[in-house]
A and B are shown apart, each in its own frame.
Chain A
Amino acid sequence: MVARASRPCVSTPWIFLTTEAHGGGRLCHYPALEFLNVLSRQFMVKTPMRTFVSEFKVRATATAGDLPQRQFIRTALRGYEVARDRRKGAFQSWESARQAAAETKWAAINHLDEHLVSLTAKLEARGTQVHWASTAAQAREIILQILRDTNARSIIKSKAMTSEEIHLNDALEHAGFTVVESDLGEFIVQLRHETPYHIVFPSMHLRRGEIRELFERELGNAPSDNPEDLTMVARRVMRQKFLQADVGFTGANFAIAETGMISITENEGNSRLTSALPKTMITLLGIEKILPRFADLALFLPMLATAGAGQPMTGYNTMYSGPRQPGEADGPEAWHVVLLDNRRTELLADPEQRDALHCIRCGACLNVCPIFRNVGGHTYGTTYSGPVGSVITPHLRGLQDWKHLSNASSLCGACTEACPVKIDLHHHLLQNRRNAATGQPAVLERLAYKIFGLVANEPKFWRLAKKMGWLSQPLHGAVRGSALDPAKSWTKTRDLPPMPRESFKDWWRNRK
């Protein structure tokens, strides 16, 4: 699959040269020309142009070197793991539940057109206004138009990764609207002008002292660094915002085709307030959130809670089927549901990776990923981080620009094991590498492997290579760690043990 997105700079990342998977693409007919082409690309890397991969490497190096921060994240995620395992253990069969969830999402995604038609017809029948957006820009424009039409000034938001995906807050602020994130973690990162660190725990990278300083600076109020006190400060600030907001904005966890409902899962109650108090409600929904039947929630709600946060059930699971209905006491007069494609259909068009659309955004794969734990959520530079982000971002934002994410994986498979809907994540990471290599062959790397194959297959050459390696060891000592060191990506953080004079093979042959 070849990406369509424009790229800021062409580059072939050196660091991943030896880990690049081999694609099935054919070599260029003019190897010499291709070689020059590759060389010229290598030189472009040296220019100060910033690329997604170079930014990733800079951030990854910085975060991985911050040992106290890594320890802090690890402690938090270990707490999660203990709680999750206890909750998984309470299931009579977590494995059968996973399989059923995988099959349900399979049926939902592979009949997506029928389900969306049913969902939207049922929503519209009860007075909900449905909008369709192919791109992020269209979604932003639809939302801005609704705000203009209702003469809105202030918007209260409950957590929505789709709104991060389309950079909604920037667009709204740019157009002169006031936007407040009401989820505590989202509110904290909004005050810091940051993106969420994690799709479920947005502010997990911050310590209480940092949050206290932030509240003191931005809200002028922080009695102590006790989490309870800080939460109450936010609660008081937010109450007024809720009472004054013209529009409430939410995301969605599930959309029920059978009954025409949106289901929202949360712990704080902010989403309940968002959909109760303002006169207008807007929900931005990725088209893949479909579940076929109302009763499927009986399985998905406890699984989301268990996989996402180690809870038996999240605090509030709320299903909305319309704006305020005749005879009801309150609720919004108008409800707009905006369906967002934003290249999800492109992922759908890839049958091998289609199951990545089964994702219910629980964050379990992030929590167990050794890469996420060490490089942190901001390093990815994407809306969706961790293994699932690395799988889908190349589809959503361009394969060649984001293929490095699939290389930043040990392929250990912890993500696949953790996924409640059984997405074969590490298989897809490998597949992204393959697709990237097919789309843009790494010729130098192929050459290197070709030469290696030649040498390794011929005992004469192999012996010669060993001998030369042993003989040139003193020379390596002179350049070790410098820019001239051919093994620099290894030696800068690791020891390179000396080669013994006699190999195991020789020793075996000569033993008496």
Chain B
Amino acid sequence: MKNINDSKTYEDSLPKYNRIKPLTNSLFSAVFLLLAACCVIPVIFITIISFSSVKSINSIGYSFIPKAWSLDAYIYLWNNIEMIGRAMGISVFVTITGTLLGLLLTTTMGYVLSKSEYKLKKFLTWVVFIPMVFGGGLVSTYNVYTTVLHLGDSVWVLILPMAVSSFQVIICKTFFKTTIPQSIIESAEMDGASQFLIYSRIVLPVSKPLLATIGLLLSFAYWNDWWLSLMYISNRNLYSLQAVLMSVERNIEYLSQNANTLGASAAEYASKMPKESMRMAMAVIIVLPIACAYPFFQQYFVSGLTIGSVKE
């Protein structure tokens, strides 16, 4: 407090005076440590299980400190590379195609809506807005997708339904409207540039943060989707990683349930598989790319929200 009249030192040290008590700070820190642990421990836990030996799991169950480590689960998955590889291929294809398609559909619509002089703007705004508050419901959606659009059991049913979301279209519109100087677009129009040229040569290049945000939202959504597979896919060749994970859960359950009634062969088959660690290994394969990537991308999720919350 000695330097309180020295304005520079005082300004610098102000936050120091204006803060919570040290004890409260330690308490809060402890709370956050606990919560963060809650969020990370499950991932660590399933990773440990996936590296546990069958014997260890059978004797002491899932444990943070297995009696013995083993790579059996991953070796087994590697031997079934055909199944896993195909599922991985589907997941990657769906994620990449879906993200690109989604970006294209979202930004073109967003660009059109951002042009205030466009005569159909009002109509299109309604087209985008209504699905935000009203939907056809699951039953008719299911019937339309399968019987009218004939999308059942095709890879496109995993891609198309999730490509556009009205919320993202509106984020786009707001972004284009607020960050791209209207004068640049007008001068390009004067020079006779077509709307498509303006969109691809001027609007998109200056909208990289927006494209990153929406692209990431889309790719995480596609990578994590299991719902569309559950509803519309029965052909095993079209299973994504998430769908395989879902069906492995059921089939292993099925095998272990029926082992007693079906006699030795099924029981034997079930016992040879490192099934417990194997399914955890599959979950690890899905989780790991995300767990490694998201810390670098999370800022875009935040910016996506803040761009979207700007109201006209």
| B and A form one assembly | no
Interface residues of B (CB under 8 A from A): none
